[in-house]
Structure 1
């Protein structure tokens, strides 16, 4: 009961949404996140016995149930295709199994061998993974089969050509072609909307009935049809439409709605300007929030997106800024109008939202990527595009863009894909987009084979610059073990040599002036702070500070910091590591070069847990004043 004493009202079971295995026992109805349109998968098409068809239907329904990792229709369809491929293999056996108990581990091994024999190495892992994850949904396996289904999947088959980025010139050509398409579409639809508004409000004279047709197209995304009792003629355009000289039906409907190729141009430009995952772009919503509340501040739209593979962190917000991305623009920024809306992610998003307004109303959808399709699984009409390559590949072929010219080689066509645009964005910007920096290094830049020589040159130049800077800066002063032993006997002599008070020398020798990697003899008159005020600079800057003194007791920490900086090379992009850590790495290397191997080995052996703790806090910036 509710707090007010009323009995809770449960949903009427007659109106519940059917999902999972339907009444026939072999059809599975599936939904994807954020889409109320279901899709049915018929397991009766599988080339196995009726008993196995029902078994696969049950397992597939559990695999695609709410809360599973299959959250997009594309991934659900891939799993069903893997299941169908497995049943085709079973049907080709001399004695195919007919019941669940007849499925044995050697069938899984044989399926893997069959895929390899057919040369399907690129999809081998996904097919086997899809089958095993479906079959694991059932509990009634014997021990041997359960162990087989729990075995690790084969490693990814990575090829050099499948994950390569574009050169900057190619990247700019792709973005320029997409902008041209969107500009033409915007001019066409905006012009027609002005005419339509005048026609509806002022009743413009329309002797050719073109404005009447435009009004119908804008409202219905279709042209008037003949109707009647003859199916072969009822779907034909009305005679006044077909005989009015308005053009083909798809061309007429594009008076007010985008074509699939124009929506592809928008997706291409969004990928070039944001670097987002292709799935995120194609499923992008038209709903958004303005960071300034439409009060005239910086143009930024905040949209909610979903990245299913992130599981519990799938839902996230993405900020689309009105700041131009100059990487994808021409080399001459002066040729770009400040009012050009297609050089910012915010501008492209708002334009697509404007141009698909009528399409969203007709479709009853909040999806951004909508277009009028002349055919498809659901016939003609306004349709949402689910996969990233469905419309982008024809757009790429239609433009006939060329790869960068190589001397002595014939020109080749440039194949555009959202995945490669994302790879190029990540390479050019060197920052993660909806993933960690380690994922950026290992899973994206690590497998990228495009423009590698140019990237290495940029990193090498940056590294040489940081090393030269380290050589130019004054290196931290140090005291040897002999000097410290002498100072213990005669601190006044060291105080006179360093221009310090006797008390400061004693405190330094006792470790009371230590920071992290050294001692600080003057905390209020260093080069990185205001005179007379305590220094607030990072302890990393002590490596070139005249107030710092390094002594043998600091060696364990210095060695540990150098090791940690070296280890971070493997978890960051080369350019990011060079920019942040190449300078202190070179400085520490020069400091340690003052000592012989015996001293360094003894210091490394003296490293204990307290050293690890202070270095960890130091490199995590827990010791910085903020």
Structure 2
């Protein structure tokens, strides 16, 4: 349907989608979401031509659903690994029908022991099982034989590790934010005519205005071809922070902001490349808070489901939305300049390039937005690696920070509940370590509960005349009851006598108690489970514990001796007709 609700017209009858497989049967062209085409030449595979053509055909069929060149390159590289493996065999197969069970067994054995190897096996399996020659038989069974799931190689940060990473990002971003805020105030005052013309601040405001409009401070090209900063003395130097850094983030400062976003919201690194600037509106009924709508790209969810919207509120310094407010402020000049140079551009994560001409020329990544003038967008893998080297982290922080946030919050983010449990929570060593205490507490609680429903009195051979008789036991001293009344007596239900340390049970009680246990078991078959558990389960457990202490044979013999008085008392006791 179109936006206005009218049914979309059908394509012409002779319309045909262009096949990704080239006319030569050896080249496959993959077009990504940005419209860029990338060609993969299967004649480069070190196998006979019939096998090259078969793999190209299968690759082309699978590529129809791809919208990413990264996905295409990953599949291509793993297909190359498979082709190289086949070329190393003594008798290299001429085509896929020459792939035997023995070959697949060796292929599996080579890769099944590593995480990367399992990923290669999975990709090649999905590719080959499209071919009719793998529709049945021993070779197909070997191809589809399951292998253990790969254990995630990344773990969440411990508390000290996370603090180190987040503190490094906070310090770098805060320094950049304070620098840009100070220069923005000066620029605003100059544009409002509040600065004296010719004064130091007035001259600096004029330079800042030039910087905001062009992306750089005024420079002169020397005869040697090197650029020279015109107002070096006024600016205090020719370094980044004294020149274009006054209004723009550097790539490393933008990376620090992305680390903070990942720690706060668990966003994927790829989502920063094309994240639109959040839209803001006042919160309902609130004049001091702002709620932002943030579009987050879910990179792997498929066509039509690439973006989700998150509502994030800035209600104060410690609220999640405060970081959004700060990000909008420090990127404002970059976003304004990008919109002037390339109308319609409004991406949040914008930084100023160190060498715009060189960087734009080197930009080869068709998945990420191209630079606009002196500006770049998003966070590249190289940015992440350089940032971790600058802060001596021993590895890119993004995957581990994201995993830390997901496991810390205990709920899914941009993924399903099953993925959250299977990939993030259960395999994580920090979660496993923290859960040991929970399991121990649960075991202790279960033990306490079990101990609380055992027979708490004493077994004796004969009654004591000094004890007071009750329906279920003899009581030594009701004034020291665990369930006292305001008047000082015992307020326990007669069934609770068996849980009291003052209770004494002798053989004369055994027939009645054995009969009572039998009656409680019978009630379980006629009452709702929840009702029986709430009213009778603990009493039944105490009677079972008492039976174990007396002995099963003696207990059965006592049941046979139960008389009419025992039956009557048990009946009244179960009905609740006997007062304590």
* Structure 2 residue 328 is matched with structure 1 residue 353: yes
Residues 226-241 of structure 1: pairs in structure 2 closer than 5 A: 238=227
In the other structure, the counterpart of 2:147 is 154
**Does structure 2 retain, via aligned residues, the 8 Å contact 1:189–1:355?**
yes
The answer to whether the 8 A contact 1:28-1:42 is kept is yes
1:394 aligns with 2:386: yes
Are residue 189 (structure 1) and residue 188 (structure 2) matched?
no
Can you list the C-alpha shifts for 1:62-113, whole angstroms capped at 9, x where unaligned? 3232xx3x55554443223212322333444455455566566655444434
User: When the two structures are aligned, how many residues end up with a matched partner?
Assistant: 456
Shift, 1:124, TM fit: 0.7
Alpha-carbon offset, residue 130 of structure 1: 1.8
Contact 1:300 1:321 survives alignment (8 Å): yes
Q: Tell me how far apart the structure 2 counterparts of residues 95 and 178 of structure 1 sit (CA, whole Å).
A: 56
Distance in 1 (CA, whole Å) between partners of 2:220 and 2:17 is 36
Q: Aligned-pair RMSD on alpha carbons?
A: 5.4
Match of 1:60 in 2: 59
Deviation digits for residues 188-239 of structure 1, max 9, x if unmatched?
2233334444555649659999767655654455688999xx9xx9xx6645
Q: Could you state the TM-score of these two structures normalised by the residue count of structure 1? A: 0.56
Q: Secondary structure at the match of 1:391?
A: helix
Check whether the contact 2:217–2:229 (CA below 8 A) recurs between aligned residues.
Answer: no
Matches within 5 A, 1:557-576: none
Distance of aligned partners of 1:111 and 1:178 in 2 relative to their CA distance in 1, 3 Å threshold: same
- Following superposition, the deviation at residue 126 of structure 1 comes to 0.9
Indicate which of 272, 282, 290 corresponds to 2:263: 272
**Which residue number corresponds to residue 74 of structure 2?**
78
CA distance in 2, matches of 1:442, 1:7: 41
Measured in 2, the distance between the counterparts of 1:95 and 1:237 equals: 61
* Native 8 Å contact 2:520 2:540 kept in 1: no
Distance in 1 between residues matched to 2:271 and 2:419, nearest whole Å: 18
Distance 1:80 1:321, change over 3 A: farther
1:448 has 2:428 as partner = yes
Contact 1:72 1:308 in 2 (8 A): no
Q: Tell me which residue corresponds to 1:302.
A: 293
Query: What residue number does 2:165 align with?
Result: 174
**Normalised by the size of structure 2, how large is the TM-score?**
0.60
Name the SS of the counterpart of 1:266 in structure 2: helix
For the residue of structure 1 that corresponds to 2:292, the secondary structure is strand
Assess if the C-alpha contact under 8 Å between 2:129 and 2:135 holds in 1: no
Superposed displacement of residue 260, structure 1: 2.5
Change (3 A) 1:198 1:10: farther
Partner residue in 2 for 1:593: 541
Quote the offset at 1:448 in angstroms.
1.2
Could you tell me how far apart the structure 1 residues matched to 2:274 and 2:5 are?
42
User: Is the counterpart of residue 425 in structure 1 residue 424 in structure 2?
Assistant: no
Q: How does 1:533-548 map to 2 (within 5 A)?
A: none
Are the aligned partners of 1:21 and 1:28 in contact in 2 as well (CA < 8 Å)? yes
Instruction: From the superposition, tell whether residues 173 and 126 of structure 1 become closer, same or farther in structure 2 (CA, over 3 Å).
Output: same
Q: SS of the counterpart of 1:247?
A: coil
- Looking at structure 2, the residues matched to 255 and 459 of structure 1 have their Cα atoms a distance apart, in angstroms, of 53
Label 1:80 to 1:199 Cα distance change in 2 as closer, same or farther (>3 A): farther
Q: Take 1:168 and 1:7, find their aligned partners in 2: how far apart are those partners?
A: 55
Alpha carbons of structure 1 residues 226 and 145: separation in structure 2 relative to 1, 3 Å: farther
**Retained in 1: the 8 A contact 2:294–2:309?**
yes
- Mapped to 1, the partners of 2:18 and 2:192 lie a distance apart of 45
SS of the residue aligned with 1:82?
helix
Residue 83 of structure 2 is matched in structure 1 by 87
2:248 match: secondary structure: coil
**8 A Cα contact 2:22 2:28, kept in partner:** yes
Deviation (angstroms), 1:123: 0.3
Please list the CA deviations of residues 544-598 of structure 1 after superposition, one character each: whole Å capped at 9, or x if unmatched. xxxxxx9656636999779xxxxxxxxxxxxxxxxxxxxx99999745524549x
Query: How many angstroms apart in 2 are the aligned matches of 1:78 and 1:558?
Result: 61
Supply the distance in 2 between the matched residues of 1:8 and 1:282 (Cα, whole angstroms).
Answer: 34
3-state SS, counterpart of residue 246 of structure 2: coil
Q: Residue 40 of structure 1 corresponds to which residue in structure 2?
A: 38
Distance 1:189 1:214 in 2: 11
Structure number with larger C-alpha Rg? 2
1:396 to 1:8, Cα distance in 2 relative to 1, 3 A = closer
Stretches of structure 2 that go unaligned for 5 or more consecutive residues are 365-369, 454-470, 472-518, 548-580
The higher-RCO structure (CA 8 Å, 6+ apart) is: 1
Q: Is the 8 A contact 2:212 2:333 kept in 1?
A: yes
| Structure 2 residue 291 is matched with structure 1 residue 292 | no
Mapped to 2, the partners of 1:17 and 1:199 lie a distance apart of 57
Q: Give SS of 1:593's match.
A: helix
CA distance in 2 between counterparts of 1:428 and 1:98 reads 53
- 2-structure distance, mates of 1:224, 1:433: 45
- Which residue of structure 2 aligns with residue 511 of structure 1? none
Distance 1:6 1:258, change over 3 A: closer
1:127 to 97, 101, 120: 120
Q: Distance in 1 between matches of 2:44 and 2:170?
A: 45
Distance 1:51 1:438, change over 3 A: closer
Asked whether the 8 Å contact 2:272–2:378 carries over to 1, the reply is no
1:570-585 equivalences under 5 Å are none
**Cα gap change, 1:386 to 1:189, in 2 (>3 Å):** closer
Q: Secondary structure at the match of 2:160?
A: helix
- How far has the Cα of 1:347 moved from its partner? 1.7
Distance 1:248 1:447 in 2: 46
Alignment of 1:160-559 (within 5 A): 162-198=153-189, 202=193, 214-215=208-209, 217-219=211-213, 221=215, 238=227, 247=238, 252-280=243-271, 284-288=275-279, 290=281, 292=283, 296=287, 298-310=289-301, 315-322=307-314, 340=317, 343-360=318-335, 362=338, 365-374=345-354, 375=359, 376-378=362-364, 381-385=374-378, 390-400=382-392, 415=395, 417-435=397-415, 439-450=419-430, 452-457=432-437, 460-461=440-441, 552=521, 555=524
The answer for unaligned runs of 5 or more in structure 1 is 324-338, 401-412, 474-492, 494-549, 563-583, 600-626
Paired position in structure 1 for 2:577: none
Deviation of 1:267 after TM superposition, in Å, equals 2.0
**How far apart are 1:447 and its partner, in Å?**
0.9
